[in-house]
Each structure stands twice: as C-alpha cells, then as structure tokens.
Amino acid sequence: MELLFVVDPLDTFKTYKDTTFAMMREAQRRGHVTWACQPIELSWQSGGRVRAQATQIRLTGQSEAWYEVQTQVDRELREFDRVLMRKDPPFDSEYFYATHVLSQAEREGARVYNRPAALREHPEKLAIMAFPQFVSPTLVTRDAAQVRAFQAEHGDVILKPLDGMGGMGIFRVKADGLNLGAIIETLNRDGAQTVMVQKFIPDIAQGDKRVLLIGGRPVPFCLARIPQGGEVRGNLAAGGKGVAQALTARDREIAEALGPTLVARGLLLVGLDIIGDRLTEINVTSPTCFQEITDQTGCDVAALFIDALEQV
C-alpha cells in the first residue's frame, strides 16, 4: 500500500518515542510505501480535487538522519491507499480547516483515518460526557458561579481549559477553596472561555493511564503516567513517569464498552485516559504511547495498528 501521513515537520520528530515514526517503521518493514506531507501542503482548487505536495521517504534505521527523501510529487489524495491524519494538537482553526479539506478528499474517494468528521465531532475533553456511567462528577460551564457551587459541593476539584494539551492549564483546588477566584479568572476570562471542572480522583497517585483502542479493541497493556515531585499532573510532557502495565478489569470494561461506538464513527485509533476507575479524556487527534508500551512489555503496538489499517 501507499500510505500518506499528514504530520508535523519530519525534522521535529523525536524518533525514540514518536508514535507516528513507529507506524512508519512497521509499515516500511511490511513493504508499504511511506509518504508524508504537512497540512500546509494540502490544497483544493475549485473544479479540482484535493491534492498534496507529498514527499516519499525511506527510513534509514539511524537515530539522527532517520529518513531519506525518495521523490516529491503533487498528487491527489484519493490516489493513496490510506491517508493518516497524525498532526499533533493544538486543535486550532487551521486544524479544523484541514479536517474539512480531508473530508472533501473522502468524498472524492480517499480513505482517511481517523475520519475527519469524527475528529471534528469528538473534542477530546468534552467527548467523555457521552459516557456518564464511567466519568467522575464533571461540570462544563462558562459561569463562574457554577464553578464555585461545584467546588463547594465536591470540595477537592480539578479545573482545566477545554483546549489544553500535555497537562497545560490544569489546576487543583482543595476543600479550602484557596486561590479558586484567581484560577477562575485565569481560565474563565470573565465568561469568555469554557472551563471543565471535575471531582479530584486520588488514584492519580497511581497514574493517569493511557489505554489504546485499535479498531475498537483494547491493546492489552496501557501506559500509566505517574506524577512526579508533588505534581498533580501525570502527563509525560509535564514530567510524569511512564510505566506500562496490564489492563485492569475496569480498564477493559471501559474500553470494551466504548470501542464499538468509537470505531463505528471512524475512529481507528483512540487513546482513553483513565484515572483509577474513571474515564477522564478520549484522545482522537494524535494518540501516542506506542513505543513506551512496546519497549516495556514487548507488545508490538505498531504491528497491531498496521494490522488494523490493512484490514479497513
């Protein structure tokens, strides 16, 4: 197959941990042809079809100069066997427009994963609200008074913006309410920005688990991202320590309940975030942790993904 990866600049990849790199490596091992482009290299002219200025690459196996350019072409997206949208967040206006262009490519016959419409319709923090049976008490609002009432009811809470990533903008407020006003002002901006507030889950001390769904099925191991040095955030980008572990019965229950619904919506790869026995986020834009899980357990997550990609 010819696979087109829509990605960030290749020279920014940290190949020792990058999940897209792991996908490319496994695809090349199987004889598939790897192409790459950035969203800026997508175009759609009236009367024509969606195209990409695409670069064919070959992975070298080296850590520094990890790829070689084979050729560069201007080509319709429908001419590739699969298109993988792997652009990292933030999910800003340009990301949003890119999904619309990719949706047009789908209408022309391209096979895009995760499906662009599903990316638009599943904001990663809000998506959990469709599965309240698995979620801790949660409030989404722009009303500061509602935030204060929620904190008064539940005591120890977490506040975060809906567009944050990598643990950015996450605050904990304990039962004494210390600094709640300042935090609301920072996140809410006088009602201009929506805030998510959740009852604090003490199990964060054991890690914020990333459970991967591939083709609607859970990978048997997850990555628990454990906060370090008094941090409340387990995100690897915030200094958390990643420890791979087998899924618990509750992890599997949540994953198997959500899997069929999410894959039916065109979400081939999903990263569920679970703290304790509660679902906290559904990641769909560019889920990661393939290499960390594989390195620690021997479970070849990239192989599972390419298996699924070959079958869709």
Positions marked catalytic: 125, 160, 210, 225, 233, 273, 281, 283
Ordered DSSP codes for 128-178: GGG-GGGS-SEEEES-HHHHHHHHHHHSSEEEEETT--TTTT-EEE-TT-T
Is the CB of residue 178 less than 8 Å from the CB of residue 161?
A: no
Long-range CB pairs of 150-158, under 8 A, 24+ apart, other chains included: 150/197, 151/177, 151/180, 151/197, 152/177, 154/199, 154/200, 156/199, 156/200, 157/197, 157/198, 157/199, 157/200, 158/197, 158/198, 158/199, 158/200, 158/232
Would you state the structure tokens that stand for residue 128, as one six-digit string?
């959990």
Whole-angstrom distance, CA of residue 103 vs CA of residue 290: 27
Whole-angstrom distance, CA of residue 160 vs CA of residue 195: 6
How many other C-beta atoms are found inside a 10 Å radius of the C-beta of residue 275?
24
Would you state the structure tokens that stand for residue 206, as one six-digit string?
């054991």
Whole-angstrom distance, CA of residue 201 vs CA of residue 218: 23
Burial class (CB in 10 A: 0-12, 13-18, 19+), 264: exposed
Ramachandran assignment for 279, one of left (phi > 0), alpha (psi -120 to 50 degrees), beta (any other): beta
